[in-house]
Chain A
Amino acid sequence: MKEMDFSRYHFKGQRETEVILEIIHRHWFNIAVHFIIVLLFALSVFGSLFLLPFLFPELNTQGNALFFLFMQNTLLLFLWIYAFLIWIDYYFDVWIITNERVINIEQKGLFVREVSELKFSRIQDVTSEVEGLIPTVLNFGDVSVQTAAEEERFLFRQVPDPYRIKDVLMERLRNDRDEEFTRMAEAVKRGLKDSKA
Chain B
Amino acid sequence: MRSIFNLLYLFLFLGLGLASFFVLFHISRYALNKKVASFAALLFIFVTAVLLWTNAVLFFNLPLEELLPRGIYPYS
Q: Please give the residue numbers on chain A whose beta carbons come within 8 Å of chain B beta carbons, in ascending order.
A: 8-12, 23, 62-64, 66-67, 69-70, 73-74, 76-78, 80-81, 84-85, 87-88, 91-92, 94, 96, 105, 107, 110, 113
Residue contact B32 to A67, C-beta cutoff 8 Å: no
Residue contact B30 to A84, C-beta cutoff 8 Å: no
> Which of B24-76 touch A at CB < 8 Å?
26-27, 30-36, 40, 44, 47-48, 51-52, 54-55, 58-59, 61-63, 66-67
CB distance from A102 to the nearest CB of B (A): 15
Q: In the complex the two chains form, what is the Cα distance from A70 to B61 in whole Å?
A: 10
Q: Please give the residue numbers on chain B whose beta carbons come within 8 Å of chain A beta carbons, in ascending order.
A: 12, 16, 19-20, 22-23, 26-27, 30-36, 40, 44, 47-48, 51-52, 54-55, 58-59, 61-63, 66-67
Residue contact B23 to A84, C-beta cutoff 8 Å: yes
Partner of B23, one of A63, A85, A105, A107: A85
Interface contact tally, CB-CB below 8 A: 70
A82 (CB) vs chain B CBs: closest residue: B19
Partner of A77, one of B16, B26, B34, B40: B16
Residue contact A63 to B67, C-beta cutoff 8 Å: yes
CB distance from B31 to the nearest CB of A (A): 8
Q: In the complex the two chains form, what is the Cα distance from A67 to B36 in whole Å?
A: 37
Contact residues in A for B35 (Cβ distance below 8 Å):
8
Partner of B48, one of A12, A80, A94: A80
